[in-house]
Amino acid sequence: MPRTRTPAVDGWFTGEGDGFRLLGTRCAACASVFFPREDAHCRNPGCAGGGLEEVPLSRRGRIWSYTDSRYRPPSPYVSDPELPWEPYALIAVELESERIVVLGQAVPGITAADLAVGMEVEAVTGVLSEDAETTWTTWHWRPTGVTA
């Protein structure tokens, strides 16, 4: 039986393929953007607080910095202890119009050696983990020069 694709976290991203976007919220009063989404109250201390509306974030941004995880992270990160640990790159990406830096894993196959500060990347759908019934989806950052 095929696994169900389910976001690993609710309401942080939407869509597949070219339609994939991170989702934040924006204050109707001061236009501050929040990711992860803020649904209760605007956190700008100079704002009386307006309605918070869901907004898709820019799909592309530039690398603020990057690193990798050479050792298996502890739970609740899910990995198969039976398999050798495969390091992944972790990227902090600055979105120009939102003026926000968002962390995310790089797409599989991209290593820290492939990256540079200032490089353009885009948010794409990715798989965080799989269990018997579910493929848990997440966002990954992919250098825009890479199509795989």
Residue among 20, 98, 110, 142 that touches another protein (CB under 8 A): 98
Q: Enumerate residues 6+ apart whose C-beta is below 8 A from 82.
A: none
Q: Smaller CB distance to another protein: residue 68 or 146?
A: 68
Candidate residues 20, 52, 61, 105; the one interacting with another protein per rule CB under 8 A = 105
Comparison of 44 and 135: residue with beta carbon closer to another protein: 44
| Contact between 110 and another protein per CB under 8 A | no
Task: Tell whether residue 40 is a contact of another protein (CB under 8 A).
Answer: no
- Looking at beta carbons only, is 103 or 146 nearer to another protein? 103
Q: Residue from 21, 60, 68, 114 that binds another protein (CB under 8 A)? A: 68
CA distance 136 to 3: 9
Kind plus residue range of the DSSP H or E element containing 123: strand 120-130
Near another protein by CB under 8 A: residue from 20, 61, 104, 125: 104
Indicate whether 28 belongs to the interface with another protein (CB under 8 A): no
39 burial type by CB count under 10 A (0-12 exposed, 13-18 middle, 19+ buried)? exposed
**129 SS3 class:** strand
Least Å from the CB of residue 146 to another protein: 19
Structure tokens at 93: 């990406």
Query: What's the rounded Cα separation, in Å, for the pair 52 and 144?
Result: 31
Nearest to 118 by CA among 59, 63, 66: 63
Return residues touching another protein (CB under 8 A): 8-10, 27, 30-36, 43-47, 64-71, 73-79, 88-90, 92, 97-105, 112, 116-118, 128, 138
